[in-house]
Amino acid sequence: MNIKQYLDSTYLKTASQANISENENTLVVQNFIQEAIDEGFKLIMIRPEQVRLAKKMIVQANSKVLIGTVIDFPNGASELEAKLEEAQQAIENHADELDFVINYEAFKRGETNEIKKEIIACTQLGLSHKKVVKFIIEVAALSNQQIVQVSALIKNTIIANFKEDNYQNVFVKSSTGFYKTEDGLPNGATIPTIILMLENSNPLPVKAAGGVRTLDEALAMIRLGVKRIGTSAAKVIAEGKTSGDNY
């Protein structure tokens, strides 16, 4: 197994979140992109405004690293039209994969028809441009029952509206890594939440994001059936070390 082909190296902090200047943050992004190129990771996951930079660096390096970006991040509460506009711009900037934050608060309010519309429209846009689509459900904001329900909702909506050969390109993803939890509870992927996702999203693939900090943890996720892992510590994991980062 090539662990690097499961790893989506991720940097999604703004300059203010990182408590550094815009120029310093751009340098951090450049370093993450270059590391992904040098290490041969599956993908570099960055914010939409940095996709062009990544594309330029990857083309210049003649690299096969894919570019992923987040849409309506991190809260997922924008109107559908705004989500689609942001995604369209990312597509035009040559992103390969689009990770949409679903409106999980609307889902918790029982607005399932709105979530279905979101899933269908975002998937249609991505697949029509031959992009991989992922739906971030934000497991830390949900109860176990809600994780089961929303995973099944995404699966059933995709099965009802898209052909089987598309299933491999529509993921259910655990977390943004930015959700604020109380009492030190995990804000990302855990073994129990990933098991619930896998059981209820099959045949759609699952991406575990947030909280995977060691090679052993990554391998455990892969053994369960996870197809991709989002982490800000991709190199540390690939080297068999332990990261102190939260994402």
Q: So which residues are the catalytic ones?
A: 99, 173, 207
> Residue 99: what are its φ and ψ, rounded to 5°?
-105, 100
CA distance 10 to 13: 9
Q: What is the dihedral sign for C-alpha 158, 152, 230, 70?
A: positive
Q: What backbone phi and psi angles, to 5 degrees, belong to 221?
A: -65, -45
Q: Write b or e for each residue in 8-43: b if 16 or more Cβ atoms lie within 10 A of its Cβ, otherwise e.
A: bbbbbbeeeeeeeeeeebeeebeebbebbbeeebbb
Do the Cβ atoms of 224 and 192 come closer than 8 Å? no
User: Residue 240 burial by CB count (10 A; 0-12/13-18/19+): exposed, middle or buried?
Assistant: exposed
